Amino acid sequence: MPGRDAFIEILRKNGLMVKIRRRRRYKTTDSGHHFHKYPNLIKDVIPSRPNEIWVSDITYIETQEGVCYLSLVTDAYSHKIVGWSLGPTLETTYPLQALKMALSSIDRFDACRLIHHSDRGVQYCSNAYVEILQNRGVSISMTESGDPLENAVAERVNGILKREWIYKMTIPSFDECKSILKRIISFYNNERPHMSIDWQTPAKAHEQIGLQKRCWRAPYARYAMM
C-alpha cells in the first residue's frame, strides 16, 4: 500500500489529479495618475444614520462574452446599494452612472452632510467625478494605502454578490449579466438580512437612525463597518 505522497505522485503521473480552476484576476484600480488624491475622512468613524457615508468600488464579472465591470455605491450605515452600473470597460462613464443613480435618491441638504469614500483610482479622482461631488456639496474621502480595510464595506459587498450569486453562475452575455445583477441587487437590498446590521435587510436599516447593533465581538476598528 503506497504512502500518501507516493499515492499522489501516481495520480499525478496518470493525469488523475483534480484540476483546480483558478479565477483570473483583473486590475480595477489605477492610482498612478496625475489627478488630486484626497485624504481619508472616515478613519474610526462609525456612521449613525443613512446618507452619512457612501463607499464606492469597482469589481469585475466574467461572462462568456468576456469580462465586464460593476460599479457600486453603497451606504456604509445600512449597507444598501444606492447606485450601480455595469460597463464593458473601466471608463469613468460607468462609475459616474452609479454615482448619478445614488445622488438622485437624496436632496441637497442630505448631499451636503454626506462623505463619499473610495479608493484612489483614476475614475474617482477624475475631473468629471470630482466635479459632480463638489457641485452637490459632498465631501470627498479616499483610501491612503492599499489595505482593503480602508474600504471594508465596499469590499464586503463585492464579496457577498460574487460568492453568494455570481460565482455560482455561468453568465452568457453582457446583457444577461445586467439583467441578473438587477435581480440580485434587488434581493440583496430588500430580502437578504445582514449580521452586521442586527439581521435586518439593508432597505430596512436605511430607514433608521442611531448606531446599528452588530452581532459580533471583534473590535470595530479591525473590521470597520463590514
Average pLDDT over residues 157-164: 94
Contact 112, 134 (CB under 8 A): no
Average pLDDT over residues 29-45: 84
Residue with cell 472616515: 42
**What is the predicted pLDDT for the residue at 125?**
96
Q: Does the structure show a pLDDT above 80 at 29?
A: no
pLDDT tens digits along 53-110: 999 999 999 999 999 999 999 999 999 999 999 999 999 999 999 999 999 999 999 9
The string of DSSP codes covering 30-89 is ---SSS-------TT----STTSEEEEEEEEEEETTEEEEEEEEEETTT--EEEEEEESS
Ranking 5-14, 198-207, 216-225 by mean pLDDT, the lowest is 216-225
pTM of the predicted protein model: 0.82
| CA 225 – CA 19 distance, rounded (Å) | 37
Ranking 3-17, 28-42, 83-97, 196-210 by mean pLDDT, the lowest is 3-17
| CA 44 – CA 225 distance, rounded (Å) | 10
Comparison of pLDDT for 226 and 206, the residue scoring more: 206
CA quadruple 40, 43, 48, 54: dihedral sign: positive
Q: Give the closest residue to 98 by CA, choosing from 71, 79, 120, 124.
A: 71
**What is the predicted pLDDT for the residue at 148?**
73
CATH of domain 26-205: 3.30.420.10
Q: Does the structure show a pLDDT above 50 at 52?
A: yes
**What is the predicted pLDDT for the residue at 145?**
81
pLDDT tens digits along 118-130: 999 999 999 999 9
